[in-house]
Chain A
């Protein structure tokens, strides 16, 4: 069932760009300290440091070939109750959208998993890294969550937390009462706002009123930026017009 992946998380809404004193957006470049020259993409390689200042060069091609064939596809072979995966595993979400011809199978899988409260588990390799993913169905849409592997998580023993000791029943009851009195069915949206970003956006708005705070570059001097409207792409793709 061919599907496409789209990020289900956006990064911060308020990225700040680095500008020259004239207001021209700057670009980050690699350079060699030895020759003091900038390096193009074909002049750099990837190296693993085996001892101080000694590297083994690993090419994209080698990484590619180390990926076994079976892991190129998301091979859904195991399912578990969706609520049995602890949240410590989740890293990033990606919506899966059906490619042409796979809409039927997609809808069938999504509906079956959503009704059954089931999550699928699979591993696959993408861009030089193996991912363990769990697949969830929500509102008729499949979403893959990349997960940490168990050896990337520390145990309480690794951290050195003390063994559980006696609790005070009176204290437990007090906390239980507090939890009940402050319990809600859903998270309140207001509690999930990024206030720091809010404040930055407010400041920007205030400052944009005065010309002296605004720098502008002629459009032809503008650095190439490829801004993709993620929502538009997703909507198009889900509606089968991609």
Chain B
């Protein structure tokens, strides 16, 4: 069954507008637990209380505050917050284009597919143009009362809009001090390079990965539901400390052996 679009908009590129539908690019597969009280095994409720007295505070009495210094809050009313909501718009504006490598992985948040909503030719022409130029567009739009920043990119035959974090949410490695300790020697660098290249594959193969832990948890839940939960072993983790040189050499030796055997 085709998915339902969660929003409709228009991609604005110069003077051209391409109508699009937006679809979630992800499916939630998290094993969802509920919080229960241990006596009745019933779902719990939540409320807001004064931490000292435990006295409940009704919803209508709660006010929102921004902490300007410890213990001092500026009260912000719901009306004021309402005014901060950006004006609704159907436009997805593309401010600029950058090479994909200019966007560090840290920025990407959540992917959405864009599907054509009428102008099919315009849609697929844009896919080709983005692919040919190898660029991602920096997009701005307002959806459900919230302003978004995103990267517009071609993925295969289709357009993806991946939301990006704002500048304030991303800590750059550039602003961190360099780790302490001496620089690696040329010999070590050569060995490490060999080691990595022995383990390096041509490209990322998504098929190789699945959430085995999630499967194991679900299997266990099903068994427990039928009243035959298997006894689980206590796991111990062990750790050995060895010198970097000996580890590198040992790894290289083992890997070469494996390669020869294969």
Contact = CB atoms under 8 A, between A and B. Distances in A.
Contact of A204 (B46, B74, B102, B202): B74
B187 to A, nearest CB: 11
Contact of B181 (A104, A109, A189, A224): A104
A63 B71 CA distance: 39
Contact of B73 (A85, A95, A161, A215): A215
B180 A152 contact: no
B132 to A, nearest CB: 6
Interface in B90-105: 94-105
B213 A222 contact: no
Contact of A116 (B64, B178, B197): B197
A-B complex: 6 closest residue pairs judged by Cβ atoms: A160-B2, A103-B181, A240-B180, A130-B213, A175-B129, A194-B166
Interface string A7-46: 1111111101111110111111111111100110001111
A31 B45 contact: yes
Given A214-B75, A238-B176, A156 B158 contact: yes
Given A132-B209, A140-B179, A65 B193 contact: no
B250 interface: no
Given A139-B174, A215-B65, 18 more contacts: A19-B75, A20-B62, A21-B63, A44-B35, A47-B34, A63-B217, A66-B216, A68-B212, A80-B203, A87-B108, A95-B176, A104-B181, A115-B193, A118-B196, A148-B26, A152-B27, A207-B76, A231-B171
A16 B29 contact: no
Nearest to A170: B125
B76 A16 contact: yes
A65 B103 contact: no
Nearest to B223: A56
A230 B171 CA distance: 10
B88 interface: no
B37 to A, nearest CB: 4
Interface residues of B, number: 160
26 contacts: A2-B239, A28-B47, A45-B36, A56-B225, A66-B216, A85-B105, A87-B108, A107-B183, A111-B183, A121-B209, A129-B214, A139-B174, A168-B122, A171-B126, A176-B132, A179-B130, A182-B95, A183-B135, A185-B98, A187-B103, A194-B149, A196-B86, A213-B74, A213-B75, A238-B176, A239-B177
Nearest to A192: B167
Chain A contact-residue range equals: 35 or more
Contacts of B180: 103, 238-240
A53 B43 CA distance: 8
Interface in B192-243: 192-193, 196-197, 199-204, 206-207, 209-214, 216-217, 220-221, 224-225, 229, 232-237, 239, 241
Contacts of A197: 166, 168
B62 A19 contact: yes
